[in-house]
Amino acid sequence: MNTTDPADRVGSGPPTSAPLVLRFADIGAESLPEVGGKAANLGVLAAAGFPVPPGVCVTTEAYRRVAAGAGLEEVLAALDATPPDDVPALGALATRARELVLRAPVPDDVADAVRREAQGPVAVRSSATAEDLPDASFAGQQDTYLDVTGADAVLEAVRSCWASLWTDRAVTYRAAHGIDHRSVRLAVVIQEMVRAEAAGVMFTANPVTGRRHEAVIDAAPGLGEAVVSGAVNPDRFVVDLATGRITERRPGDRPPAVRSAAGGAPRPGTADAGTTAAHDGTTNDGTVGAGTAETGPCLTDAQVTALAALGGRVEAHYGAPQDIEWALDGDGTLWLTQSRPVTTLFPIPRHLPGEEPDGDAGPRVYFSINVAQGVYRPFTPMGASAFRLLSAGAADLLGFPVRDRMAGAPVLAEAAGRLFADVTGVMRSRAGRAVLPRLLDVMETRSARVLRGLAGDPRFSVTRRSVRPALLRAARVVVRHRIPARIAEALVNPPAARRRAERLARELPARFASPPGAASPDRLDRVERTLGSRAIRAMPSFLPAPATGFALLGLARLLLGDRVRPGELQAVLRGLPHNVTTEMDLELWRLAGRIRADGDAAALLLGVPAAELAGRFHDGSLLPAVAEGLRGFLAAYGMRAVAEIDLGVARWSEDPEHVIGVLANYLRLDDPALAPDVLFARGAAEAERMIRTLAARAGLLRGPVVRFALGRARSLAGLRELPKFYMVSVLAAMRAELAAVGADLAGRGLLARPDDVFFLTFPEVRKALTVPGPGPVTRPGSPAVSPVDPAGSPAAAVAERRAEAARELRRRHLPRVLLSDGTEPEAVASAAPADGALTGVPASAGTVTGVARVVLDPVGAHLTPGEILVCPSTDPGWTPLFLTAGGLVMEMGGANSHGAVVAREYGIPAVVGAARATELIATGRRITVDGTSGTVVAS
């Protein structure tokens, strides 16, 4: 929750000398605390010379004084204690708050100030202090009243606007966005009516495709409330702002037009109309307004282009895409009645200054690294900085040395705390275009489809036709790292290949650690060297074995041809041995079995919150039967975490709450037939039977080759998780080094707490180590220290980045491919699933019907045995949930992505790459997952 100064809290303090009413001319962007977002924007537009209908703002001081007498404290205390997902409770409290505000007396000076502004028909519009913000627009959360005439009617409309700060939708919106209800106040705009012949809404960037500088205009005859409220299907125009060309026209419905009508009673709009229309199309005496059924577009081409040009100027003034409400009066004058930032657009990825890739000019193609790695949340600044160092090492390995190792490979870009790779050069290369989509076919199929769709775009035509440079670079890597010899070893002696790779994965990370007592600058040097070169040099040692296994699986597919049915080759990979992540999950299951046998231990895990048990584990007071088993598990797997490729994320050894929660979840599984080890063994037996079946089906000559190929595939394919396990182990070791540096900086007063170091970058940490500190600071649990030296202390930057990370964690949509003009190609090409079916990529054969459980974050999640897990993506931190899942639906991934592989190994049907699954499927809904056809349907 946001903290606020006591003087700014709802209903606090006696009357002050603050103004009760301000003219638009007296309002600027800095006036937001006094006038709210809507009025602040109108003041900015008016001051800049844009056509804004005249008006005034009844300031938040008036609301504060009314709220002070409303008796809201009890409701506010209850709201503080109500979880954001308890919608019924929030709604009941919102109703109570509205009633209190509506009954509160209005001080005489406030009432007089409002009545003085009641000149002619006006619109009375709410303007809250927490709206039209960069990360939350709050559009439509409070009320607007239209065509209001008469002093008493205007005062009543203002009172109703104050009460609308407590609508159910406004309260739940604030709760969902973590905005303190006590910190929000409401101002009210009283604005001259526009007698509109046409009105509507304009976005200066396409809100569906994300394309910047493309205006999308919705328009309807008369007043614009019907457009905003969705009561009509409006005319739609799409305009290229750079050229003024209208690229799309779509006529809307033509019901009777809603016109403004004089009268005395306020008429509510269902949302913030922007234009000044009633939502129901009636006059004050209940009759239909002056509109009649009309035909043809409500705007001429000249009016459309003029409106788009006006929108372009507004966008240029604010420096960001805008959501604009407008009206066209009978004289042909365009009016702006509101402009707010478009908060739903995903930011365009940006390279570090001076680090843009060399090569072709023109639009760029960005591929989401977060999506490819199954990490939905933003990276910490240190995690992103570490990834840049790793990318520099990878570029060196592939023969592309970088200019600045701290900046990483030039292809790296960042947006919204997520990492992207600029793959424009790959798309323009004949070799890259052939290889990249095929790689993505088995790890992120939806991305592969998007990139193949871009192949026909002339902006990304092939300019590098020769494959010789790529082959030469690949040959150098193959020779330097003895890849043929390692492939031969994997073919001839799989156990030896496995032992060597597993030994390296376990031993190398420990070699990278600093000696005890190392100084902070030395630790930082070691981390930078390890991530920048040493760690990556070992990667080719891990890849040949699993690559050989999947190559042999492909050989078997080729030899079988049409003799193999859908899902049968996937069955060969069930119960796959030698997978370090599967072994981790089964070890956790065995630990749950030992705890189950101890009645006291089982009761403890089932009866005490995981967070409390994690605290007991660290302070040594946890029941020994649980503590010893947990300690053993963490000794082997404590380097893992959810979103573990982010070095800034705490490891399970630091915070075992998630592991403890999973153990409790396992204890709830009481059907022996559904035990994970039983399912795993059953899957392995089915895989061996399928190998025999397919070998027999292949025929006398091909059968032995198919049997050999599939047998080797089972022996080697499970090692696909080992490279990531190695890299995660390295990241955990380097995190420990940086934690020691953070403790040093905190001890010197430069950070409030040691883990603040993960909200800095490597150069920032190095700079901080040179700054003299003010001395010891208050430890965690006390207020954060203010920087003694603002120019040298990183404390302010850390606080700002933590707040930004909290906002980004609420972002629901993450594009997998994005163009440099903001276009999301998948959004352009996507269509609604036929007949209500959700389609994706078949990942694990079989069909299951069950209750859906939508999980956005596995930490603390509980999955009742048999429930179908619906999630954005997965990494190994998710897989303990698979042991009790009846099926899997995942928005991201391909047939060989992590979630797909684990689902096959556990024998649960799975569909991956199912767009918007977490939005379209609700928890508790009964669905059928067909992992063979790749469909999900309601049942």
Nearest to 357 by CA among 283, 413, 405: 413
Q: Which two tokens stand for residue 792?
A: 């040298």
Q: Classify 494 as helix, strand or coil.
A: helix
What's the average model confidence in pLDDT over 76-97? 88
Instruction: Tell me what pLDDT residue 403 has.
Output: 87
Q: Which two tokens stand for residue 512?
A: 């990278």
Q: H-type helices in 748-814, by residue range?
A: 762-768, 795-808
pLDDT digits (tens, 9 = 90+) for 37-73: 899 999 999 999 999 999 999 999 999 999 999 999 9
Q: Is residue 898 flagged as an active site residue?
A: yes
pLDDT confidence bin for 467, thresholds 50/70/90: confident
pLDDT confidence bin for 16, thresholds 50/70/90: low
- Sheet of 212-221, strands arranged across: 246-250, 235-240, 212-221, 196-205, 322-329, 334-341
Q: Classify 148 as helix, strand or coil.
A: strand
Distance (Å, whole) CA 100 – CA 16: 22
- pLDDT over 50 at 785, yes or no: no
Distance (Å, whole) CA 936 – CA 939: 9
Distance (Å, whole) CA 214 – CA 237: 10
Distance (Å, whole) CA 806 – CA 264: 46
pTM to 2 decimals?
Answer: 0.79
pLDDT digits (tens, 9 = 90+) for 409-462: 999 999 999 999 999 999 999 998 988 888 888 778 888 889 999 988 999 999
Helix (H) or strand (E) holding 889: strand 887-890
Interaxial angle between packed helices 544-560 and 703-716, expressed in degrees from 0 to 180 and rounded to the nearest 10: 150
DSSP conformation letters of 807-874:
HHTT-----SEEETTS--HHHHH--PPGGG-EE-EEEE--EEEEEEEE-S--TT----TTPEEEES--
Instruction: Tell me what pLDDT residue 171 has.
Output: 85
Distance (Å, whole) CA 265 – CA 267: 6
Q: Classify 602 as helix, strand or coil.
A: helix
Nearest to 759 by CA among 810, 805, 811, 809: 805
What's the average model confidence in pLDDT over 538-562? 93
Find the largest Cα–Cα distance for the chain. Answer: 99
What's the average model confidence in pLDDT over 344-369? 83
Distance (Å, whole) CA 919 – CA 911: 16
Residue 131 identity? E
Mean pLDDT computed over every residue of the chain: 85
What's the average model confidence in pLDDT over 205-214? 88
Instruction: Tell me what pLDDT residue 9 has.
Output: 40
pLDDT digits (tens, 9 = 90+) for 796-829: 899 999 999 988 987 877 889 999 999 989 877 6
SS (H, E, C) 648-707: CCCCCCCCCHHHHHHHHHHHCCCCHHHCHHHHHHHHHHHHHHHHHHHHHHHCCCCHHHHH
Instruction: Tell me what pLDDT residue 893 has.
Output: 67
pLDDT digits (tens, 9 = 90+) for 125-145: 999 886 544 444 455 567 888
CB 340 within 8 A of CB 323: yes
CB count within 10 Å of CB 111 equals: 18
pLDDT digits (tens, 9 = 90+) for 917-928: 998 898 999 999
Q: Classify 361 as helix, strand or coil.
A: coil
Q: Which two tokens stand for residue 670?
A: 């009481």
Instruction: Tell me what pLDDT residue 287 has.
Output: 25
Is the alpha carbon torsion for 809, 811, 817, 823 positive or negative?
negative
785 DSSP 8-state letter: P
CB count within 10 Å of CB 270 equals: 17
pLDDT confidence bin for 225, thresholds 50/70/90: low
pLDDT digits (tens, 9 = 90+) for 230-289: 445 678 899 999 999 999 998 876 655 555 554 434 444 433 333 333 322 222 222 223
Catalytic residue selected from 181, 279, 658, 898: 898
Distance (Å, whole) CA 345 – CA 211: 9
In percent, the amount of the chain with pLDDT more than 70 equals: 86
- pLDDT over 60 at 782, yes or no: no
Instruction: Tell me what pLDDT residue 260 has.
Output: 55
**In sequence order, what are the beta bridge partners of 23?**
56
Distance (Å, whole) CA 132 – CA 124: 17
In percent, the amount of the chain with pLDDT more than 90 equals: 56
Let me know how long the chain is.
939
Nearest to 715 by CA among 687, 680, 690: 687
- pLDDT over 90 at 612, yes or no: yes
Please name the residues in contact with 313: beta carbons below 8 A apart, sequence gap of 6 or more. 50
Listed range (562-571, 698-707, 876-885) with the worst mean pLDDT = 876-885
Instruction: Tell me what pLDDT residue 8 has.
Output: 38
Nearest to 779 by CA among 736, 742, 732: 742
- pLDDT over 90 at 522, yes or no: yes
**Backbone phi, then psi, for 328, in 5-degree steps?**
-115, 120
pLDDT digits (tens, 9 = 90+) for 159-183: 999 999 998 878 877 887 778 888 8
Q: Classify 534 as helix, strand or coil.
A: helix
User: How does strand 365-368 pair with strand 412-415?
Assistant: unpaired
